[in-house]
Structure 1
Amino acid sequence: MDENDTPQLRPYPQHPPKSLDDLSAKLIDNGLSGISRELLERRIEQVGYFRLKGYWYPFLTPVSEQSAKRSLPFRQDVQFKDIWDRYLFDQELRMLVFDGIVTIEIYLKSFLAHELSVFGGEFGYMTREGLPGLSYDDHLACLSSLRSTFTKSNLPYLRHFRSTYSDPLPPYWMIVGCLSYGTLKENFYQGAPDHIKRKLATKLHIFNPNPNPAVRGDAKILSNWLETIRQARNMTAHHDRFWNETSTRIAPKLPKHRSGSHAKGWWGNDWDIFRKSSGPAAFLTMENYLTSQIDGPAWTEKFISLMDRYPQIPKSDMGFPDGWRVSPLWRVNGSAH
Structure 2
Amino acid sequence: MFSSRRAARRSTFIQHHMDHYDGVIPIWVLVDVLDFSDVSMLFEGMRASDQYAVAEGLGVRLNLQQVTPTQRSKALKNHPLARWLEQLTVVRNIAAHHGRLWNRTIAPAPTGAMRSVKGLERLPEGQSEDVFGALTVIAKVLEAVSPGSTWAGKVSSLIDSTFEGISERSVVEMGFPTDWRGTGLWSE
Give the TM-score, by structure 2 length: 0.73
Partner of 2:84: 225
Gaps of 5+ in 2: 67-71
2:144 to 293, 303, 321: 293
Amino acid at match of 2:130: G
- Larger RCO, structure (CA 8 Å, separation 6 or more): 2
User: How far did 1:268 drift?
Assistant: 8.1
Question: Are positions 1:195 and 2:49 aligned together?
Answer: yes
**Cα offsets for 1:104-143 (capped at 9, x unmatched):** xxxxxxxxxxxxxxxxxxxxxxxxxxxxxxxxxxxxxxxx
1:307 to 159, 163, 175: 159
User: How far did 1:308 drift?
Assistant: 2.8
Distance 1:202 1:209, change over 3 A: same
Partner of 1:316: 172
- Structure 1 CA distance for aligned equivalents of residues 12 and 55 of structure 2: 32
Partner of 1:82: none
Amino acid at match of 1:168: G
- Structure 2 CA distance for aligned equivalents of residues 294 and 226 of structure 1: 15
2:61 to 197, 202, 206: 206
- Structure 1 CA distance for aligned equivalents of residues 22 and 114 of structure 2: 50
Tell me, yes or no, if the aligned pair for 2:120 and 2:137 is still in contact at 8 Å.
Answer: no
* Count, aligned residues: 171
Query: Runs ≥4 in structure 1, deviation > 6 angstroms?
Result: none
User: How far did 1:248 drift?
Assistant: 4.3
What RMSD in Å do the two structures reach over aligned CA positions?
3.2
Tell me, yes or no, if the aligned pair for 1:281 and 1:319 is still in contact at 8 Å.
Answer: yes
Tell me, yes or no, if the aligned pair for 1:292 and 1:300 is still in contact at 8 Å.
Answer: no
User: How far did 1:151 drift?
Assistant: 0.8
Distance 1:275 1:159, change over 3 A: same
- Structure 1 CA distance for aligned equivalents of residues 114 and 5 of structure 2: 48
Question: Are positions 1:169 and 2:20 aligned together?
Answer: no
Partner of 2:13: 157
Partner of 2:34: 179
User: How far did 1:312 drift?
Assistant: 0.7
Q: How does 1:324-335 map to 2 (within 5 A)?
A: 324-332=180-188
- Structure 1 CA distance for aligned equivalents of residues 120 and 44 of structure 2: 28
Larger Rg: 1
Tell me, yes or no, if the aligned pair for 1:292 and 1:299 is still in contact at 8 Å.
Answer: no
Amino acid at match of 1:158: I
Distance 1:170 1:266, change over 3 A: closer
Tell me, yes or no, if the aligned pair for 2:103 and 2:173 is still in contact at 8 Å.
Answer: yes
Give the TM-score, by structure 1 length: 0.44
Distance 1:173 1:271, change over 3 A: same
Q: Identity over aligned residues, as a percent?
A: 23
Distance 1:268 1:324, change over 3 A: closer
Q: Which moved more, 1:224-233 or 1:313-322?
A: 313-322
Partner of 1:252: 109
Question: Are positions 1:238 and 2:91 aligned together?
Answer: no
- Structure 1 CA distance for aligned equivalents of residues 176 and 40 of structure 2: 29
User: How far did 1:155 drift?
Assistant: 1.4
- Structure 2 CA distance for aligned equivalents of residues 225 and 172 of structure 1: 22
Amino acid at match of 1:252: A
Tell me, yes or no, if the aligned pair for 1:282 and 1:319 is still in contact at 8 Å.
Answer: yes
